[in-house]
Amino acid sequence: MNAPAQIRTGAPTLDVRGLRTTFHLHAGQLRAVDDVSFSVGRGQIMGLVGESGSGKSITGFSIMRLIDRPGRIDGGEILFHGRDLLQISDRDMRQLRGTKIAMILQDPMMTLNPVLRVETQMIETILAHEKVSRREAWERSRDALGLVGIASPEERLRAYPHQFSGGMRQRVAIAIAMLHRPDLIIADEPTTALDVTIQAQILSEVQQLARNFDTSFVWITHDLSIIAGLADSIAVMYAGKIVESGTIDEVLDQPMHPYTMGLIDSIPSRSEGRRRLKQIPGMTPNMLNLPAGCPFRSRCAHATSVCQHTPRLTAPSPGRTLRCFHPLAEPVS
């Protein structure tokens, strides 16, 4: 088993080991998630970053055990507080999903019901899993809206989702995800559709929530600049595999994988004055027909003949993982 990226001592909230998820299609087998391992400590935020189609969402849905045919999780372990989610009953998983593990999606309307007042949805969400009075459920709903920066929560509880702006609607979705004080939230590009100022506000609120309630986050995004200010650790995904992981500072200050370096170079603000902003050349590979060897080879300026073989996962320094024959930097010991 490959060593997962360990980010702090103590038992992690989530420990994913060797996860594989495949789509069994007429055209062939599409391995969307291939030997993915990482762990997220209590109250920590891990950014899962990569270009479109790299397998980020399918990793998230696999953790939630929400993969439908023709997709199938066909290997690995998803340890949540040490318990393998792939081995528990559907009933137990549903229970966990409603309480201890939640997901936030890019479109909050996937979570919100347009014909119900926010109040009704929040209260019902609480009552579905807890035996508390309606009054208490209402109070908790009000407090949850306040926590995600919604002013006058008592009034706003009476509103319907369409009466909120996009940013406010996403805040409501986050408040609902937080209602049962989950230990883990999988956030799949939840701020991507929002303008930069609103994104920044929501990200700082999420950071505070993670800290105050010890909630762990897997924050999925294709935008490395979001992760830079938000996450404690990062896992960079390419063609279904994690190609580099470690603490956010180590990986961003000293990237070892040419793909990570390419992502960093394409962030406008980080590139200014240091490097010229440049896009990674070439296209992401066809996942149904991956080339032999390192899948980044055709786009990589550092490729040599050895890259025709598949690079194995290595641990260049404690807490860091890498899949590359020619690391860009030596790890700081």
Ligand X SMILES: Nc1ncnc2c1ncn2[C@@H]1O[C@H](COP(=O)(O)OP(=O)(O)OP(=O)(O)O)[C@@H](O)[C@H]1O
Say how far residue 170 (Cα) sits from the centre of its chain. Answer: 16
Bridge-partner residues for 147, per DSSP?
A: none
The partner in contact with residue 320, picked from ligand SF4, Mg ion, ligand X, none with C-beta cut-offs of 5 to 8 angstroms by kind, is: none
The partner in contact with residue 32, picked from ligand X, ligand SF4, Mg ion, none with C-beta cut-offs of 5 to 8 angstroms by kind, is: ligand X
The partner in contact with residue 303, picked from ligand X, ligand SF4, Mg ion, none with C-beta cut-offs of 5 to 8 angstroms by kind, is: ligand SF4
Task: Out of 65, 72, 100, 302, name the contact with ligand SF4 by CB under 6 A.
Answer: 302
Angle at 229 between CA 245 and CA 151, to 5 degrees: 135
Q: Give the Cα separation of 27 and 113 in Å (integer).
A: 36
Task: Out of 126, 300, 313, 320, name the contact with ligand SF4 by CB under 6 A.
Answer: 300
The partner in contact with residue 50, picked from ligand SF4, ligand X, Mg ion, none with C-beta cut-offs of 5 to 8 angstroms by kind, is: ligand X
Q: Which residues ranging from 88 to 117 are in contact with ligand X (CB under 6 A)? A: none
Q: Which residues ranging from 49 to 78 are in contact with Mg ion (CB under 5 A)? A: 57
Question: Binders of ligand SF4: how many residues, by CB under 6 A?
Answer: 13
Angle at 176 between CA 148 and CA 48, to 5 degrees: 80
Q: Which residues ranging from 191 to 230 are in contact with ligand X (CB under 6 A)? A: 222
Contact 291, 285 (CB under 8 A): yes
Q: Does 80 bind ligand SF4 (CB under 6 A)?
A: no
The partner in contact with residue 31, picked from Mg ion, ligand X, ligand SF4, none with C-beta cut-offs of 5 to 8 angstroms by kind, is: none
Q: Give the Cα separation of 214 and 168 in Å (integer).
A: 23
Task: Out of 16, 40, 237, 307, name the contact with ligand SF4 by CB under 6 A.
Answer: 307
Q: Does 241 bind ligand X (CB under 6 A)?
A: no
Structure tokens at 31: 């391995």
Q: Does 289 bind ligand X (CB under 6 A)?
A: no
Structure tokens at 78: 């998803």
Q: What radius of gyration, in Å, describes the C-alpha atoms of the chain?
A: 20
Task: Out of 123, 294, 313, 321, name the contact with ligand SF4 by CB under 6 A.
Answer: 294
Contact 240, 19 (CB under 8 A): no
Q: Does 263 bind ligand SF4 (CB under 6 A)?
A: no
Q: How far is the CB of 2 from ligand X (least distance, A)?
A: 20
Q: How far is the CB of 163 from Mg ion (least distance, A)?
A: 28
Q: Which residues ranging from 52 to 81 are in contact with ligand X (CB under 6 A)? A: 52-58, 71
Contact 36, 25 (CB under 8 A): no
Q: Give the Cα separation of 274 and 125 in Å (integer).
A: 49
Backbone angles phi, psi at 224, to 5 degrees: -60, -30
Task: Out of 104, 287, 294, 313, name the contact with ligand X by CB under 6 A.
Answer: 287
Q: Does 32 bind ligand X (CB under 6 A)?
A: yes
Q: How far is the CB of 53 from ligand X (least distance, A)?
A: 4
If residue 270 lies in a helix (H) or strand (E), which one and from where to where?
Answer: helix 268-271
Listed residue (178, 187, 164) closest to 125, CA to CA: 178
Measured from the Cβ of residue 152, the count of other Cβ atoms closer than 10 Å reads: 10
Q: Does 285 bind ligand X (CB under 6 A)?
A: no
Q: How far is the CB of 21 from ligand X (least distance, A)?
A: 8
Q: How far is the CB of 98 from Mg ion (least distance, A)?
A: 23
Q: Which residues contact 249 (CB under 8 A, 6 or more apart)?
A: none
Nearer to ligand SF4 by C-beta: 156 or 320? 320
The partner in contact with residue 270, picked from ligand SF4, ligand X, Mg ion, none with C-beta cut-offs of 5 to 8 angstroms by kind, is: none
The Cα-based distances of 167 to 83, 94, 161, 164, 195 in angstroms read: 35, 28, 11, 8, 8
Can you give the binding site for ligand X, defined by CB under 6 A?
23, 25, 30, 32, 50, 52-58, 71, 222, 287
